[in-house]
């Protein structure tokens, strides 16, 4: 849960274009502390969560929504949040959204061709074996 909440904070922060330093300054903590919150290494207290939500110009429930939304696949949501923490994932998604639909389909086909059925990157050595 700490990882999922931290990922939600990171996604919101990056969506509005705020740096970790700016968020830290508004919350009265170090940017390293924000990193720890976002990575799930440190638990966010409720009072700190309120500060973070105010700084991110959203409601606390907006950040916690993924943790407690009835009818949603919680495991899938947590998996998505975990994947969004991958370096470059948000930038890649932003660029992907700007592509025309046919280019998106071509890119997805290309990426599937690069990866095997298990999602791991294919290599020339594997294909030659």
Name the residue ranges covered by the structural domains of the chain.
2-86, 99-129
Tokens of 44: 């966010």
CB neighbour list of residue 50: distance below 8 Å, 6 or more residues apart: 60
Q: Which residue has the higher pLDDT, 83 or 33?
A: 33
Q: How far apart are CA 60 and CA 64, in angstroms?
A: 6
Residue with tokens 């990193």: 35
pTM above 0.85, yes or no: no
Cite the beta strand spans of 84-128 per DSSP E: none
pLDDT at position 53 = 96
Q: Which of 42-51, 58-67, 68-77, 95-104 has the lowest mean pLDDT?
A: 68-77
Q: How far apart, in Å, are the Cα atoms of 108 and each of 39, 54, 114?
A: 28, 37, 10
CATH for 2-86, options being 1.10.260.40, 2.160.20.80, 1.20.1050.10, 2.40.10.10: 1.10.260.40
Average pLDDT over residues 69-73: 54
């Amino acid at each position: 849960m700490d990882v999922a909440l931290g990922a939600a904070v990171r996604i919101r922060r990056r969506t509005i274009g705020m740096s970790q330093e700016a968020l830290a300054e508004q919350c009265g903590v170090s940017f390293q502390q924000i990193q720890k919150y976002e990575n799930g290494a440190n638990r966010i207290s409720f009072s700190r969560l309120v500060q973070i939500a105010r700084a991110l110009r959203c409601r606390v429930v907006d950040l916690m929504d993924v943790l407690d939304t009835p009818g949603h696949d919680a495991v899938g949501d947590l998996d998505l949040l975990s994947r969004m923490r991958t370096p470059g994932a948000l930038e890649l998604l932003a660029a992907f959204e700007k592509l025309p639909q046919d280019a998106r389909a071509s890119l997805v086909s290309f990426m599937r061709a690069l990866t095997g059925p298990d999602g791991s990157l294919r290599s020339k050595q594997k294909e030659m074996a």
